[in-house]
Amino acid sequence: MVDLIKSPGDPIWLQYVPTVQELEVEDGLVDSLAEDENSPVPNITHRYPDRALFLVSPVCASYCRFCTRRRKVGDPEKIRMSQLESAFRYLEEHQEIRDVIMSGGDPLLLSDRRIDDICKRLRAIPHLEVLRIGSRIPCHLPERVTPELCAILKRYHPLYINTHFNHPDELTPAAVHALGMLADAGIPLGCQTVLLRGVNDDPEVMKALMQRLLAARVRPYYIYMCDQVAGAEHFRTTVQKGLEIVQALRGWTSGLAVPHFVIDAPGGGGKIPLLPEYVVKLTDKEVVLRNYAGKTYRYSQPHEPILVG
């Protein structure tokens, strides 16, 4: 990442070089998403009905200054498999869970053997249909993506990886190569991007990022409003800025390049999607719509059927 920094204050610099603004901490923002309140056992966050977040590693590929889990920095470097037993038991006992997201920290910083062991345990649970991994590794440490790692992950399909790129400059040749190796292993790839002031709060920058992700075989999945994270207020933009960016994407580039724009609601409310206003008027007779270019169109509602006899 250091090689990508062109000058102090550029988009890469802002993400990785600490500033005194990070010392500005407001009360109540240590765990703004209430993950700990939705943790029935250690290392599990169960917020949504049919899926759970499984924290398998406290170590990050990089210290994300805008992530709510920065509160966990300084935890032990490695979680022993024995410490995950209560999490495995919880997943075994809760048959409503069909989808598990391995997160952290960064799961792909674990050894090949540990990744294999965790995936094997999860795949042995009959009601778990989908495994997912959230990782910043393809961006920060693409050399970690090896043929051996890809061969391990390939054993556990259906398995998905959501990675995290915030700026088009992060899609280096090495990163694109790593993404290609994962895609060649049959792993569907998505990207979760955080809207950050001075980094990507510009429609053209965000469009370039989404288009380059698609070219690298990654489907843009989410643009997040920056969480209300302690020490990250300087990264936050307005919601209006996010809506402006979505409006500059939808219709102006491929629909494949338009992710969901969401707020991960403070207090544990989960992801709430946001859209620009495209419905101008809604009645029983018609819907008046505004398209991406600002033109209005009318769509007639169906007539009630006339009952005969």
**Same-domain pairing of 137 and 215:** yes
Q: Of 37, 43, 53, 116, give the one whose Cα is nearest residue 76.
A: 43
Annotation marks residue 226 as catalytic = no
Per the residue annotation, which of 119, 136, 227, 236 is the catalytic one? 227
What domain range is 294 assigned to?
A: 277-309
**Same-domain pairing of 183 and 131:** yes
Give the full edge-to-edge strand order of the sheet including 286-290.
Answer: 279-282, 286-290, 296-300
**Same-domain pairing of 193 and 46:** yes
Dihedral sign (CA 53, 57, 63, 69): positive
Per the residue annotation, which of 10, 16, 48, 117 is the catalytic one? 48
> Could you tell me if residue 295 is left (phi over 0), alpha (psi between -120 and 50 degrees) or otherwise beta?
beta
Annotation marks residue 139 as catalytic = no
Supply the DSSP symbol for 9.
T
Annotation marks residue 271 as catalytic = yes
Beta bridge partners of 265: 270
Question: Would you give per-residue pLDDT tens digits along the chain (309 residues)?
Answer: 556 666 777 898 888 887 777 777 665 555 566 667 879 999 999 999 999 999 998 877 555 666 665 555 545 457 889 999 999 999 999 999 999 999 988 999 999 999 999 999 999 999 999 999 999 999 999 999 999 999 999 999 999 999 999 999 999 999 999 999 999 999 999 999 999 999 999 999 999 999 999 999 999 999 999 988 777 888 999 999 999 999 999 999 999 999 999 999 888 888 999 999 999 999 999 999 999 999 999 999 998 776 666
Q: Of 130, 138, 195, give the one whose Cα is nearest residue 163.
A: 138
Annotation marks residue 264 as catalytic = yes
- DSSP E strand stretches across 49-170: 51-57, 99-104, 130-134, 159-163
**Same-domain pairing of 59 and 93:** yes
pTM, full prediction: 0.88
Count how many domains the chain has.
Answer: 2
CA distance linking residue 291 with residue 305, whole number of Å: 30
**Same-domain pairing of 173 and 307:** no
**Same-domain pairing of 254 and 283:** no
Per the residue annotation, which of 31, 65, 67, 224 is the catalytic one? 67
Supply the DSSP symbol for 238.
-
**Same-domain pairing of 302 and 169:** no
> What SS3 state is found at 150?
helix
Q: What is the CATH number of the domain that holds 112?
A: 3.20.20.70
**Same-domain pairing of 167 and 204:** yes
How high is the pLDDT of residue 307? Answer: 67
CA distance linking residue 288 with residue 281, whole number of Å: 5
